[in-house]
Amino acid sequence: MLKMTQDEFERVFAERSKMTLEEYRAHWIGLPCGCADESCEGWASVRRGPDAINEHLDFYAPDPPRRMVVGKFENLGFFEKKS
């Protein structure tokens, strides 16, 4: 179960990294994480781009989000920048 929403995670991560939310979202996206590390907040900060997103979905995302679609993720909104 996720401990916070995607928006909350991205805001906290940006603050911890001393960047604005806009700067964070220009290059990164918060995706669900299923790594099972006890310090994990249920989300991972992943570089925007198909290779990084695919790698995360293949190895770290919990099921069922893992590989919802084979191939390109543009249609899922992963590359749309939030404001």
pLDDT digits (tens, 9 = 90+) for 27-45: 999 999 988 888 888 899 9
Average pLDDT, integer, range 40-67:
83
Q: How many Å from the N-terminal Cα to the C-terminal Cα in the chain? A: 26
Whole-angstrom distance, CA of residue 75 vs CA of residue 79: 9
- Please state the pTM of the whole predicted model: 0.72
Peptide bond into 32 cis (omega under 30): no
Instruction: Evaluate if residue 63 carries a pLDDT over 80.
Output: no
The residue type of 47 is R
Mean pLDDT of 17-33: 95
**Domain extent listing, the chain:** 6-76
Coil/strand/helix, residue 79: coil
- Residues of the chain with pLDDT > 90, as a percent, come to 41
1 pLDDT band, cuts 50/70/90, is low
Alpha carbon 58 to chain centroid, angstroms: 13
